[in-house]
Amino acid sequence: MSACEWCNLSDEDKKYILFEDEHWAVYLADKQDYVGRCIIVLKRHAGTLSELSVAEWTDFQSIIQRVESCLKTTLGADLCNWTCLLNNFYKDDNPNPHVHLHCRPRYSVKRRIMGGGFSELFSEISPPARRSQFRSITFLPELQLIFVGLFQ
């Protein structure tokens, strides 16, 4: 079994933590292919959603509310798409998945943040093309400060 990338995060990766509670840690994704994208990671190792406890599910509901409120308040997101994608773990000969979910805010009109513009509600642009449009992560530290303030 391969080492778990989420259980063994570097200090560099941990700098993207926005908020954590007993069961979950919320990270601002370093790759902003959707502006404001966050990754919510279970703090203990579990390979599937069916392994979550009732307390972890209940806690996750609270995380959803906080993350969506933060993204709507800070960036004007109209909605958030949530996904649990464990596929990449299975590219390894010895998969060792770790439950985490992606929150992708979506926008109906063009927004401006830190001098850059973006809009992509229900966009069908392929991910590589989207990444090349507006993904200078120079605003990441500022965005993180805004988010952390709302999570406190």
Is 70 exceeded by the pLDDT of residue 93? yes
Is 60 exceeded by the pLDDT of residue 145? yes
Q: Are 6 and 98 in contact (CB under 8 A)?
A: yes
Q: Which CATH class is domain 11-143?
A: alpha beta
pLDDT at 151: 64
Provide the CB-side half-sphere exposure for 36 (13 A, CA): 31
Query: Please, what is the average pLDDT of the chain?
Result: 80
Residue 41 pLDDT class (50, 70, 90 cuts):
very high
Say what the pTM is: 0.80
Residue 132 pLDDT class (50, 70, 90 cuts):
very low
